Amino acid sequence: MDILTQQLFNGLTIGSVYSLVALGLTLVYGILHIPNFAHGALYMLGAYVTLTMMLLWGIHYWIAMAVSVLVVGLLGVLMDRLVFHPLRHAPPIHDKIAAIGMLLFLEAFAQLIWGADYRTMETPYGQVIDIFGMTATTQRVLINIGAIAVMILLYLFLKKTYTGSTIIAMAQNREGAQLVGINTNRVAMLTFMISGGLAAIAASLSAPINLVFPGMGHLVILKAFVIIILGGMGSVPGAILGGYILGFTESLGATYISNDYKDIIAFLLLVVILSIKPKGLFSREGF
């Protein structure tokens, strides 16, 4: 019983990180209709920017994270303007190639600037705490609360605000959105901004429990792709649910079946869900 609660908590933590990364990915998919392979690089840069702020200027963790959200968000916008926007009339394969190119470029760039070494991000929340007989650190609790808070805010933004609805409208029908007078360029930039910001939040929250290094994007990006396929490409609730499903499968699978097979279990689940619902859990176009 003890181990079960502990593992449920572990699954929740890892699921929160996965969901946040997958959310950014799924938003951009809704707009561009291509998987943004460079999203993992944005995640990595998010962690580096936060870390640099904290080490170089001694800025507090939360402020550093806010700066990072802004910087990486703007980088996302820049990516849209410089790469994806000029390619909007090109066949989809060009976007994919461009995205992979961005990924390689950003990784090499990070290695050039920050070096290849592993770095640790020390936060003021390293204390070990005991909740209902399970062990956690404050940072882990923060990951869970932070992720859920961000998800609620995002949901409210998309459903309750005018700007949010334009994003949904554009994801549902690009031409239709243009016809009713939505500035699609502006919405695309906004989506990239949010997507980059989400990556930065996910990275800044999870970096203290792991390490910061140029290849860290690979840890999450492949899983994020699995999640958005599982949840339905472009679906926001799908990304959230998919993230937690994967997190729990990993932690419980590793405990009760075998750790060596935990990836197999996760992918088997993907196969099963896709055979029942071929378009993913939430297959509706848009959100």
Partner 1 sequence: MRILKLSALLLVMAALFVMAGCIDNNSTQTSSEGGSETQSEAPEVEEGEEVVNIGYSGPLSGPAAYYGERTLNGLTLAVEEINNNGGFEIDGQTYKYNLVSLDDKYLPNETAANAKRLLQENDTPIIFSPHSGGIKAMQVFNEQENFLIGAYTSEPAVTEAGNKLTVRIPPSYDGYLDPFTNYAMENHGKKMAALPTASQYGKDWTEALVPYWEEQGGEVVYNSSIDFSKDTDFFTLVTNALKENPDVLFIGGPSEPTAKVAKQARELGFEGGFIVMDQAKLDEMKSVTGSFEQLNGSIGVTPLTYSDYPGTDAFIEKYNEKYGEDPGSEAGYHYVAMNVFMEAMKAAGSVDDPEAIRAHMQDGLDALPEEKQVYTVDEIGENGGFSTALRLAAVENGEIVTIDVEE
Binding site for partner 1 (CB under 8 A): 3, 6-7, 10-11, 13-14, 17, 101, 104, 107-108, 111-112, 115-118, 120, 122, 128, 135, 137, 140, 206, 209-211, 213-215, 218-220, 250-251, 254-255, 258-260, 263
Rg, the chain, Cα only: 19
User: CA-CA distance, 255 to 73, in Å (whole number)?
Assistant: 37
- Give the residue with the Cβ less far from partner 1, 195 or 206: 206
- Give the residue with the Cβ less far from partner 1, 192 or 248: 248
* Shortest Å, Cβ 211 to partner 1: 6
- Give the residue with the Cβ less far from partner 1, 234 or 243: 243
DSSP string, the chain: -HHHHHHHHHHHHHHHHHHHHHHHHHHHHHHHSS--TTHHHHHHHHHHHHHHHHHHH---HHHHHHHHHHHHHHHHHHHIIIIITTTTTS-HHHHHHHHHHHHHHHHHHHHHHH-S--B----TT--EEEETTEEEEHHHHHHHHHHHHHHHHHHHHHHHSHHHHHHHHHHH-HHHHHHTT--HHHHHHHHHHHHHHHHHHHHHHHGGGS-B-GGGHHHHHHHHHHHHHHH-TT-HHHHHHHHHHHHHHHHHHHHHT-GGGHHHHHHHHHHHHHHHSTT-SS-SS--
- Give the residue with the Cβ less far from partner 1, 137 or 283: 137
CB contact set of 21 (below 8 Å; sequence gap of 6+): 39, 43, 198, 199, 202, 220, 221, 223, 224, 243
* Shortest Å, Cβ 118 to partner 1: 4
- Give the residue with the Cβ less far from partner 1, 95 or 250: 250
* Shortest Å, Cβ 10 to partner 1: 5
* Shortest Å, Cβ 176 to partner 1: 31
- Give the residue with the Cβ less far from partner 1, 57 or 256: 256
* Shortest Å, Cβ 214 to partner 1: 7
* Shortest Å, Cβ 107 to partner 1: 8
* Shortest Å, Cβ 95 to partner 1: 15
- Give the residue with the Cβ less far from partner 1, 183 or 258: 258
